Each structure stands twice: as C-alpha cells, then as structure tokens.
A and B are shown apart, each in its own frame.
Chain A
C-alpha cells in the first residue's frame, strides 16, 4: 500500500496524520484527565463525563456570543480565556452538586453509580437539545487562532491545533502538580490509600470526595472549552468520545496520570495513522480491538502498581 506514494509524500502523510493524531490526543487527554481523577482516585465511573465536557463547550459558546454581541470587537480575541475559567467553575459546581445529590449515596455500589450517571447523561443531553437545539453550534475563532503554519511546503499545521496542544500540556502539568503538591491533592491521595485513617487524622473525607469530583468535572469543562477550538458542539457530541476515553483511562492504568497521557498518545496516534490507509471506521475498530485485547491480557493497564486483590 505504500508503493503508490513517494518517500517525501509518505513523510508528509505521516507528519500530517501525526498532527491530526495530536489534536485527537489533546481531546483524549483533556477528557481522560478528569475521568482518571474521578475513577482512579474515587473508583467512580462517571458516564456523564462527556456531557460535562459538552457543558464546558456550551459555556464557551455562550461566552463568545456575549462577547460578540455586547463587547467591543477589540476584546473578542480574549473571550476564550474568560470562557475557559467560566467553564471550569460552572461544570465544577454542577459536579459538586451531582456528587452531593447522587454520587455520595452510591460509593459502596460502583456499578450503580455507573447506571445513575448514565441516567444523568441522558437528562443532560435532552436539556442541551431543548435549550440549544439539536443542531451543532460552533464558535467564531478569534483572528489570532485562524490560519495555519507551514513547516515545509508540504506540511502545514493549523494554529488552533497548536494552541489546543499547548493548552493540553499546560493543564496536564498543572493537574499533575496539583495532585502531587497541593493540599487537596495530598488529601485525596490519603483518602484513596486509607479512608478511615485519613478521617482519623482529621481530613474531612466527604469534602475531599466532593472537591475531587468537582475538580474532575471542572477539567472536563476546560476540555469542552478547548474542544470548541477544533470542532463544533452538539447535544450528543459527548457520547462520541466517552467509550474511547474510558479505554484511554483503563489502558493507562487508572491510577497514574502519566499512564493516562501515554495511553492517550498511543491510542490517538494509532488511530489517526491507520485512518489514512484504512477507512475511518476500520481504523477505529482495529485500534479499539487492539486495546481491548491488550487489556484482556494485561488488565492492570500500561502503568500501574501491583494489582490489588
């Protein structure tokens, strides 16, 4: 199959597909980060994670509308940063509310959490459809994110893609630092390792649970915000990525952020490279199938501590 292409063409194909893969990678990482925190740290499966992400996207969409309608054009270029912060807090607040009203009653029944959050995702989808309509909406990119950057005469990369990638890197580092260094991060890890002990030394474990869940949802909101830079938003867009994201998290070994990033990279690159040579659906089938088979052989994922019994 390579015979039809010249060497230079092949190089640029791989580079371009690799870049497309990097955008997919960014979306995966941003979605998976929040999920990994919630699943890895709390053992809760949040099936509505995709909908939290879409909420972030809608918040960004609304912010951009407000900027373009009510504020002078000169400040439009900065709407994104405001939107991102708003998205974080709105989804985080909703996450805290959901944790308080639903999740905390179900910690002993992880499978039931999964079903309850699925119900939540259905409700959120329908809400989006009722409020924003079934059609996909997109934001107008500020001028500085338009256009593309030519690396060679055959390889061009879009600026919005580069921006999303940089954003992903910054957020990933920030989350990693927070889990390692901050008080909440330390408390979360303490609660994960030994809940009664953590409670005994004065950590308010319920508060930690709520904040962790809110944080995971808030990161999903940021992911949604970033998502508007590279794609349009519809009520069911969250569902498109949720299975892949779960696999990313599980494949990466649930409790490790490095693992999550590495597995997001592997899966996205495999998928987008294969996509060029096979049809999109077969590329996805092969990627997911490989991941599932690897997980069957090595259920603890790529990076993980010894399996607990």
Chain B
C-alpha cells in the first residue's frame, strides 16, 4: 500500500514539472510581452477553475457564482491600486482632489467608509484572502446546514452573481459602475503598466498558481479529500460515521472562493482594471467550462482547460467573432455529453496508452496519468431517474464503468 502511495507521488510529480516547464520556460521564451501578459490573464482564470475542481469535481457542489469571488478579489486589489493612483497631486484638477475620479464624476465629495481601509496594502491582502471566504462561509452555512445542494445551490449562487453585478453597476459612485475601476497605475510606486512589470507579474502569478495547485493537491490527498468523494457517493453513511457533512462542504466552498479571489487579484494587477463583466452570471458559468474541459477531477486539467478555452476565445474573436458563441455552446454540450472527464480523461484513455507503447518502460511513470483519485464520470448513463431537490451530482459517479482507471496506477 505504501509502495503504491509513493508511486503516485512520483508520476504525479512529473505532470507538475511538465506544467511548470510550460508556464515558466516555454511560454516566456515563445511569446512576446503582449502575448505573455495575455497568457497571464488566462492563468488567473485557472485559479477559478481550480476552485471549481475542488468544490464541484470533488465536493459535488456546482457554484454558478464563482465570478463573485474572482470579482471580490479583483475589486479589493483594484480599490487599493485606485487609491494609490488617486493621490491629491494626481487628482488636483478634480473638484474633490484625493478621491478616485469616478467618485468625483458622480458628485461624491469624500471617500466612502468602506474604501478607507484599502489605503493599507496589508489590509488589502488580508481582505483578498478573507473577504471572499467569509462571503462563501455565509452562503455555505445557510445552504449546507439546511442540506440544500445540487441545482438549488447552483441557482442561488447564480442569483447572488446577478445581484452583485446589478449592485456594482447601479452604485456607480462607489464602485465605478459598468466601466469598473480603471486607470490603475502603480503598486507602492512601482509602475505595473510597463512590459517589465508585466513579465514579473506573470511569474508571480505562476508561482501563486502553483502554491494553490499544491494546496489543492494536499486537500485532495488528505482524508478530507476522500471524505468528499465518499460524501458524493453516500452522504448518509458519512454522516452516520460521525462527520458533520455540512462543515466539509462549507470548508471546500470557502477554499474554492479564496483560490478564485487570488486569481481575481492577480487579474487586476496584470490587466490593470476590474469591472463587473467578470462577476456576472455569464462569466461565472463560463468559468465552469474551463474546469469541465480540463477534467472536473483534475487539478492540473483546470489550468489546461482555462488556457485552451481562453486561447480559443481570443483566436476566434480575432478572426471569426460570430462563430465564437457557437463554438462555446458546442463545447459545453460536447464536453458534458461526450467527454465528462475533459482533457484529462481523453489523455488518460487515448494518449497515455499510446505514449506507453513508444516510451521505454523505465520512463512510463512520466506518461502514465492517474489524474483522479476516483472513478470518473461516465458518459453513457441511461435515463432512469430524475434529480430530487436535495440530490447533488452524486448519482453521476455511481454508475460509471469499472476499472477504466485502475490499470493505470497498478
């Protein structure tokens, strides 16, 4: 048993190394500063996708409001940067110097109280990490303690995303409205708009992403990870083994929220603005497809999913903008129906065995991929039951085909 354990460590490590090489070596060498910054932006979405792997893939909790947490992180950072950019000297021409320009345009004459603490960078960092988690905690306690899950939870989180968007757009004077918080310039005097700064931020972003990936891996590998899987299968059994099921769901939802918020903050830093377009229901559900494409049980898949979808989106909108929604829609339907385990599942089923044929046995551990700790979702489930109100996605894993994973590890 222990032998198997260390083996898993070894070949999973190879996949981490491959991703690290792609992010830290290949991309910076192959791309110019503009494109690299773009990839950096895509990678901030990978944080959200990673959070979704944890809470949707493992926890069975589909949140359609992850944009809320991405946005909260992004707005916290944007508020700090905006205050720095709105020094009295920079804003001398305003009727009230020293407050952000959009407040001045909206006839505000002093800084709203909730903006005040964002003068402090330390507070901002804490807020980015804690505020979304608190928000997720409130939603989680309210929903999971009452055993609401599945589609109900999805709808409620979607409504939360909608509410927050309307609120941000409606309260222009306090939030910058539909344009968001723009014209961000410096971080502690360091100009974040230069190419050099953007390159550095790309690497900072990459490092943070790896920190989150390792944290996610730690969670999945711990007993908590196995409990999440067990809960999706037999929630009652877990409960009657003495576990407070809701506390685990709340935890994983909060963890996903915090990870998403880090992505949001890095987005603001790299792109130089934050706006409600990243908070609403549309973007929030789009972020789910990053996770689904990568493979809902694959933490590394989340990164590839985010990269591939966003790269495709950019290429499409450059050449055939009218086709993008078709492609995106087809992607949603196709992934869900044909490849519910996403790219990771495809790699697992088709590419890894093929590679194994041509790679010497000694190096098999590099190409084998046991991407998930449990059996993945089957694409071919027959229609016999309908979802009930408290049912989560647990049903989907129950009937999956046996043994399609086990051969890889042993």
Contact = CB atoms under 8 A, between A and B. Distances in A.
Task: Say whether A associates with B.
Answer: yes
B279 interface: no
A176 interface: no
Interface in A39-90: 39, 42-45
A119 B332 contact: yes
A126 B155 contact: no
B154 interface: yes
B117 interface: no
Contacts, number: 172
A243 B281 contact: yes
B24 to A, nearest CB: 32
Contacts of B154: 45, 111, 114
B329 interface: yes
A152 interface: no
Residues of B in contact with A, size category: 35 or more
Contacts of B10: none
B62 A108 contact: no
Given A119-B328, A120-B333, A45 B151 contact: yes
Given A129-B322, A281-B166, A296 B143 contact: yes
Contacts of B163: 285, 288-289, 292
A292 B166 contact: no
Contact of A112 (B139, B159, B340): B340
B143 A195 contact: no
Interface stretch (B67-75, B102-110, B126-134, B379-387): B379-387
A184 interface: no
Nearest to A107: B383
Contact of B329 (A122, A291, A297): A122
Contacts of B346: none
Contact of B155 (A102, A209, A250, A308): A250
Interface in A173-217: 192, 195-196, 206, 209
A309 B170 CA distance: 40
B388 interface: yes
B158 A309 contact: no
Interface in B363-380: 377, 380
A115 interface: yes
B383 A115 contact: no
Contact of A295 (B156, B334, B390): B156
Contacts of B382: 108
A307 interface: yes
Contact of B383 (A45, A129, A206): A206
A173 B102 CA distance: 51
A309 B390 contact: yes
A300 B147 CA distance: 11
B159 A119 contact: no
B288 interface: yes
Given A44-B386, A119-B333, A195-B386, A243 B158 contact: yes
B210 interface: no
Nearest to B236: A309
A115 B330 CA distance: 11
B159 A288 contact: yes
A307 B388 CA distance: 10
A109 B341 CA distance: 13
A42 B384 CA distance: 11
Contacts of A309: 147, 390
Contacts of A307: 389-390
A20 interface: no
A43 B152 contact: no
A241 to B, nearest CB: 11
Listed from nearest, the 6 A-B pairs whose CB atoms lie closest are A119-B332, A281-B170, A110-B387, A123-B329, A43-B387, A122-B329
Interface of A: 39, 42-45, 102, 104-112, 114-116, 118-126, 129-130, 192, 195-196, 206, 209, 239, 243, 246-247, 250, 254, 279, 281-282, 284-285, 288-289, 291-292, 295-297, 299-300, 307-309
11 contacts: A43-B386, A43-B387, A102-B333, A106-B383, A107-B383, A108-B399, A109-B377, A126-B322, A195-B385, A246-B158, A281-B170
Interface of B: 56, 62, 64, 139, 142-143, 146-148, 150-152, 154-156, 158-160, 162-163, 166-167, 169-170, 281-282, 285, 288-289, 292, 322, 325-326, 328-337, 340, 377, 380-393, 395-396, 399
